[in-house]
Amino acid sequence: MRTLSAALLSTLLVAAPFAQAKLSVNVGAINVNPENSASAINENKALGLVADSNTQLGITVDYQYNDNIVFELVAATPFSHTVEGAGGLKGNDIADVKHLPPTLFAQYHFFDATAKFRPFVGAGLNYTVFFDEEPSAALKATLGTDDVKLDLDSSFGLALQVGFNYDINEKWGVHGMISKMDINTDATVYANGVKALTSDVELDPVVAMFGVKYKF
């Protein structure tokens, strides 16, 4: 509840200075679905890591620069993923991790500004920060110690987007989008303070959101 309240408060603080501008807020379900391709551990392609998908509350803020150009900031409550083994590690949970992937898009909206249905395409930049990395009991048992730490580096990459807005009335509407994000991170596992495992984790997820739109 505190995380949700903080996310909503942040959105309102961002929106407040631009309330008189052509600003809108979209709220709905947002899903992050990482690629299924495994990332090698210690450069051993027979061992790998994959992450499951997760759905959270998505909150985006749109600033309409003109009739066709819109800037959109995509945010959400923290995503949580279980990282599982692949290849020789298949069936073993490795860790639980959380991340926030705020993304800023520049969008081009098609059709006339008065149209109820307006599809759009977008391109932008993504920054993903990982936190609360929790190694699994199975990983600790494999390494033979409870002193295990997992560290994932932050990621910065490009993002592409397609979507639509549909106006129900002057204030309310429906918002939907799908985006592909370049999210790669270096994962390092330490056992008793010594580096034990490394992996270049390529998440590169498909992110989809569907929700309601409110225009200020």
Give the pLDDT mean for 121-139: 92
Instruction: Name the percent of the chain in helix, strand, coil, to the closest 5.
Output: 10, 65, 25
Nearest to 64 by CA among 26, 10, 102, 7: 26
Convert the pLDDT of each residue in 49-96 to its tens digit: 778 899 999 999 999 999 999 999 999 999 998 887 765 566 677 889
Q: Which residues are CB-neighbours of 136 under 8 A, at least 6 positions away? A: 92, 93, 94, 95, 96
CATH number of 2-215: 2.40.160.20
Going from N- to C-terminal start, the domains of the chain cover 2-215
Share of the chain above pLDDT 90, in %: 57
Answer for the pair 175, 26: CB distance below 8 angstroms, yes or no.
Answer: yes
Q: What is the mean pLDDT of residues 188-203?
A: 85
